[in-house]
């Protein structure tokens, strides 16, 4: 019961101000202003009639609202209003104006907004977010996995479940992959785009390592291959805020639907290949999309055809080819090492850091955002790919030589030197490295003479080290002039009473007569 009479007494008899009245009655200052305004509108004066009760005064100041016959006013189709509101450029005021054009005596704008808000609260709380058609695709992995059995070993591996959900229609795509690594992550996106037949403006992902290198609330570092893929399809990556699951509530609901409608249905099936698993997943996903949504008269598939599909961007003509990015520093031989293979770059980039993009067939090398080299991917481990234009002028001279030409030149020194040269060329992972060592042998013959180099080569072969380093060391220490060990005379064995000799170990052990042994008890 409101203390209106006491309020009027304090105002007109005690002459208190508004704040003092509010403090005395323990009510808000705004309430005091409201009550006094209602008294003025009702035309009441102080003192009040003696026979007016508190209830009569309250009924006079707070009359019931006049009914406007709201039941007779047409009510919009709120479900249709909700769908239209997801189209680009459509606002609630525009929909209200269109409604009032058809029904001039219909709901006012404020009442229209309130009724629509009440309708939204009757829906599933996970579905209250509003996203424009074709704007966002939410992507994530489900927590549970599907068991995949190896036919040979019987080992069971948990296949990862990728889930993508359209923002406006909640139209969902799902598939199984072996891992959550970058190739599987990117491949799932490509197949999802092809499933939808188009691309959204944004990709909303969680802060998983295959999507975001460094988590940051303001400027997250997008993984390079993921960013490259998004640029190819004309979209952009928008990571959800850290520890903000409501930012991706759409895909969380999609993940839950996949777990309930797909994974639960396949819980008792045994799969031996990823292909068979995805063949079983796809029909269940399609059926899930065609089911009527909760508290709705339409399905995800219906909404997708109405909203998202017409608003999606077209797929590019060429499918994205997955390429992994890596940093590398150019070594002194103007090559970089990628996956234990070596690729040349222009020699002017010596000791600088470059970026390399490796696809299935091509290796592209970039410096400062500009592509500086392109190679066919080397299949052999520790193999080399060298382009002539990347070499300095002095090295290009070496490139004009062939193994036959070099060995023919070395043959002039001798057969042993040729054997060393052949070994140098055959043992090097790259021909250029073997050529350099062969030229070193030729320079040694110019310095020491062909006879000494040939002798040194024979000694290097004899010790099992046919290399430029060994030949050079033998010449430097004049070991080529020493006689071979096989030609050295053998020295006579040492004669001494303490030296048993080799025959001792082959003689039979002497027989000892037990009768000859006795114990001295003295």
Site of tokens 């009027």: 8
pLDDT of res. 502: 58
pLDDT tens figures, 379-435: 888 888 888 888 777 666 555 666 777 777 788 888 888 888 888 877 766 666 677
Nearest by Cα to 111 from 86, 160, 78, 144: 78
**pLDDT computed for residue 519 by the predictor:** 47
Of the candidates 332, 370, 378, 375, which has an alpha carbon nearest to the alpha carbon of residue 354?
370
What single-letter DSSP state applies at residue 308? I
CA distance 277 to 289: 19
**Listed range (126-135, 383-392, 448-457) with the worst mean pLDDT:** 126-135
Q: pLDDT category, 279, cuts 50, 70, 90?
A: very high
Distance of CA 208 to the CA centre of its chain: 7
Residue 205 has pLDDT above 50, yes or no: yes
Kindly report, residue by residue over 346-382, the tens digit of the pLDDT: 988 888 899 888 877 888 899 887 888 989 888 888 8
Average of per-residue pLDDT across 478-488: 69
Collapsing DSSP to helix, strand or coil, 355 comes out as: strand
By the 10 Å C-beta count (0-12 exposed, 13-18 middle, 19+ buried), 366 is classed as: middle
Residues 170-189 have a mean pLDDT of: 91
Order the strands of the 335-338 sheet from edge to edge: 335-338, 341-344, 384-385
Q: Are strands 341-344 and 384-385 parallel, antiparallel or unpaired?
A: parallel
Name the CATH code of domain 136-311 (choices 3.90.1010.10, 3.30.420.10, 3.30.70.330, 3.30.470.20): 3.30.420.10
Tokens of 333: 């031989």
Tokens, residue 78 = 């709120």
- The neighbouring-strand residues paired with 199 are 313
**Residue ranges per domain, the chain?**
4-61, 74-122, 136-311, 324-394, 401-483
Counting every residue written for the chain, the total comes to 522
């Amino acid at each position: 019961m409101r203390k209106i009479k006491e309020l009027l007494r304090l105002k007109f008899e005690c002459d208190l101000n508004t704040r003092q009245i509010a403090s005395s009655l323990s009510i808000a200052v705004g309430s005091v202003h409201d009550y006094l305004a209602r008294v003025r509108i009702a035309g009441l004066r102080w003192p009040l009639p003696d026979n007016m009760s508190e209830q009569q005064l309250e009924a006079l100041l707070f009359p019931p609202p006049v009914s406007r016959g709201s039941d007779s006013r047409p009510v919009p189709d709120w479900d249709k209003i909700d769908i239209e509101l997801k189209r680009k450029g459509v606002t609630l005021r525009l929909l209200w104006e269109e409604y009032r054009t058809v029904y001039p005596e219909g709901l006012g704008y404020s009442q229209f907004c309130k009724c629509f808000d009440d309708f939204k609260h009757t829906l599933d709380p996970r579905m209250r977010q509003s996203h424009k058609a074709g704007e966002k695709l939410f992507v994530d992995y489900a927590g549970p996995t599907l068991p995949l059995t190896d036919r040979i070993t019987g080992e069971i591996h948990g296949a990862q479940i990728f889930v993508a959900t359209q923002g406006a229609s909640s139209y969902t795509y799902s598939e199984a992959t072996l891992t959550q690594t970058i190739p599987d992550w990117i491949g799932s996106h490509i197949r999802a785009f092809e499933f939808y037949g188009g691309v959204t403006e944004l990709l909303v992902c969680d802060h998983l390592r295959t999507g975001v290198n460094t988590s940051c609330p303001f400027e997250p570092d997008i993984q390079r291959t993921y960013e490259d893929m998004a640029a190819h399809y004309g979209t952009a990556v928008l990571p959800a805020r850290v520890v903000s699951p409501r930012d991706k509530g759409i895909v969380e609901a999609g993940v839950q639907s996949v777990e309930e409608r797909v994974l639960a249905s396949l819980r008792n099936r045994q799969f031996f290949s990823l292909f068979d698993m995805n063949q079983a997943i796809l029909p269940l996903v399609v059926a899930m999309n065609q089911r009527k949504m909760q508290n709705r008269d339409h399905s995800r598939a219906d909404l997708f055809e109405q909203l998202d599909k017409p608003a999606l961007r077209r797929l590019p003509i060429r499918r994205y080819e997955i390429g992994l990015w890596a940093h590398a520093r150019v070594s002194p031989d103007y090559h970089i090492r990628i996956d234990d293979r070596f690729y040349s770059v222009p020699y002017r980039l010596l000791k600088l850091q470059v970026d390399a993009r490796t696809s299935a067939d091509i290796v592209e090398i970039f410096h400062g955002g500009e592509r500086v080299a392109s190679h066919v991917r080397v299949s052999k481990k520790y193999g080399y790919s060298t382009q002539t234009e990347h070499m300095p002028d002095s090295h290009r001279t070496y490139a004009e030589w062939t193994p036959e030409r070099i060995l023919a030149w070395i043959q002039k020194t001798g057969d042993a030197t040729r054997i060393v040269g052949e070994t140098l060329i055959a043992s090097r992972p790259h021909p250029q490295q073997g050529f350099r060592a062969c030229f070193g042998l030729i320079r040694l013959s110019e310095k020491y003479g062909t006879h000494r180099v040939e002798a040194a080569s024979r000694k290097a072969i004899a010790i099992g080290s046919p290399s430029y380093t060994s030949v050079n060391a033998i010449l430097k220490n004049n070991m080529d002039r020493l006689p071979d060990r096989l030609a050295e005379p053998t020295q006579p064995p040492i004669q001494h009473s303490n030296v048993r000799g080799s025959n001792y170990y082959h003689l039979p052990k002497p027989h000892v007569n037990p009768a000859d042994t006795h114990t001295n008890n003295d």
